[in-house]
Structure 1
């Protein structure tokens, strides 16, 4: 089955932007479609009046902002109805590293989002979107892609997984089967770091739509470790994959 999508730069999700606190981002958006679109960077602190205005067909906009805070930030089309533009694929992520972020041997970015399939592959009905009952829930634009093409790491390597829930409506309960997180960074702050007073660990990174963070973990034994949202109905809709740890 084929499904129409709307995109930034021809991909769902759109391009990943990566920087540090203090970096200046300047993004030129050209609307080559036949309908108005826009862009809203959650990584910015800027008046929406001009920067997030609808760009008419054939028009363009230059959006500049300085990254003031660390995190993984959603960007998306903000043209009404916003739920439709986001559900059709107009979203992406900006990763801003915390200033003291230690190196990791492996690092991946995973965006969870939903697909609503329209009749004949066309635009889904608004009633379908408002019911928040998606046909597919995916990581990085494809259902089950990391089952067919697992993420490969070295057993014993320190792994960082940036995770963002792009929505538009479903929460995420990110979990790696057979592993525990010794570091959890969510929405601007560390919830857990190695060597904490109670020597604890975490099993899940819980995210509402529009929220993000990262976890760090080590897979001490070679093997295949499933990656899922523990909202299991959404895992069965495609939000699952695997990390293969090799010796």
Structure 2
């Protein structure tokens, strides 16, 4: 069995600590002047790829970080390379263009996998901006590869992949042969910080720049956003004196 050639897609999103705001036109979430960072689930993915190399249970030939987005998305690739990725590919998508939908991203990743002969894709189970949670499954379908979603533990040895994930009431373990697609969940690991020396080294690692035209794909949006609005404010709670009062209030609200 040859070594692992791991593809790790990463995405630039609004920082998880920032409260999103709807723009004045109510067409999207406001992104101008808002702090961005790497999607937290993608941080888990790049960390797990590096840990697979460090465990040495299966040789890792290459860890390739990939992103599609505006110029500033390259910062996510540099961060991934500072953590341990060997090189990066940036597909430029103008920030004024419609955002790529999960199917378009999956088609793009399929091309990247075929071009770079990857045999393992590790990606976040979802991005925290649209929360679609679809790309990994669509990619596995397009590649006709086995998949394991929401991984909380990954073990690879002799080309066999064993993934543990949390399910209602316990954990589930699945096993498959490479090639494979894995999506990551929050309990998988604790991502490391990129140290200053590694950040400096990352600047010298190869970063390939491409456009959507290089892949010849139809990634036109199939959905149209009609309107984006803030959720209605929550109503204040009501205090009750005792259990009987609580039961009476629940009956009044029609909950019992």
Please, what TM-score do these two structures have when normalized by structure 1? Answer: 0.31
| Bigger relative contact order, structure 1 or 2 (CA pairs below 8 A, ≥6 apart) | 2
Q: Higher strand proportion, which one?
A: 1
User: How high is the TM-score relative to the length of structure 2?
Assistant: 0.30
> In proportion to residue count, which structure has more helix?
2
